[in-house]
Amino acid sequence: MSKLIAIIDDEPDIVELVSIHLKKATFKTKGFSNAEDLYRFLGLSDGHSQESEQIPDLIILDLMLPDADGIEICKNLKKRDKFSLIPIIILTAKGEETDKILGLEFGADDYVTKPFSPRELVARVKAVLRRHQKIDESGKLNLGGILIIDTEKHEVTVEGQKIELTSTEFRILNLFVSNKSKVFSRYDILDHLWGDEKIVLDRTIDVHIKNLRDKMGKAGQLIKNIRGIGYKLEARLGESA
């Protein structure tokens, strides 16, 4: 079954351009010009019934919409269990590094600036979906009783408290826990996430890991920065793996 890509942009020409290229790549698309229409489609708009039972497989989101800020939409979706694992690619004219970091910190999986190549955007959609589908579903991973990952339910708990992670953060943590004795370079992590389609910068990994540490609270101390090399996960607090 073709995957459904939701496109939210207040420029009709952009929505049409992206839709045409995605459909050529065998995706289904649904376009929205504002946040209210998207929320109505997802059943999140007060006083409106849900238009569709199908949840998008990926969302392409503009930051500057007439009725809402794209970052707020991203935050709103990521805090809801039903929508938290939907990958989000931000497509915007706001190209400053601070805007990119902010988007990634609030759960976006990738960031594309306008003007853009439609072919590159389609490649990024495919890459994000590919890595999203590769999340291991083998069971639960336990680290010293403080950190538990349920790879089947895509849930992470720290000292019994559930924490909400983006799909990228989840895959990074899963990689670390599954290979506790290894030091991972930023290239290793990029390769795990993107494979042969590494189209993001090393700095992106640092942003994701900082956000992951912050969400993990006390357990975030388990992720260590090995200067000049990369990152590793300790077996328990205060003790090397």
pLDDT of residue 222: 84
Furthest C-alpha separation in the chain: 56
pLDDT bin (cut points 50, 70, 90) of residue 197 is: low
pLDDT bin (cut points 50, 70, 90) of residue 150 is: confident
pLDDT bin (cut points 50, 70, 90) of residue 82 is: confident
List of long-range contacts for 119-126, beta carbons under 8 Å, 24+ apart: 119/21, 120/199, 121/18, 121/21, 121/60, 121/89, 121/91, 122/21, 122/22, 122/24, 122/25, 123/197, 123/199, 124/89, 124/199, 125/5, 125/22, 125/25, 125/27, 125/58, 125/60, 125/89, 126/25, 126/197
Element (H, E) at 19: helix 12-24
Architecture (CATH level 2) of domain 140-233: Orthogonal Bundle (1.10)
238, with CB counted inside 10 A (0-12, 13-18, 19+), is: exposed
Range(s) for CATH 3.40.50.2300 in the chain? 4-133
pLDDT bin (cut points 50, 70, 90) of residue 215 is: very high
Neighbour tally for 40: CB within 10 Å? 19
pLDDT bin (cut points 50, 70, 90) of residue 18 is: very high
Beta bridge partners of 5: 29, 58
Sequence-distant (≥ 6) Cβ neighbours of residue 194 within 8 angstroms? 127, 131, 200
pLDDT, mean of residues 73-93: 85
- Name the amino acid, one letter, at 158: V
Range(s) for CATH 1.10.10.10 in the chain? 140-233
Q: What is the mean pLDDT of the chain?
A: 82
Q: Give me the percent of the chain exceeding a pLDDT of 90.
A: 30
pLDDT of residue 100: 73
More confident residue, 235 or 177: 177
Name the CATH superfamily, with its identifier, for domain 4-133. Response regulator (3.40.50.2300)
pLDDT, mean of residues 8-32: 96
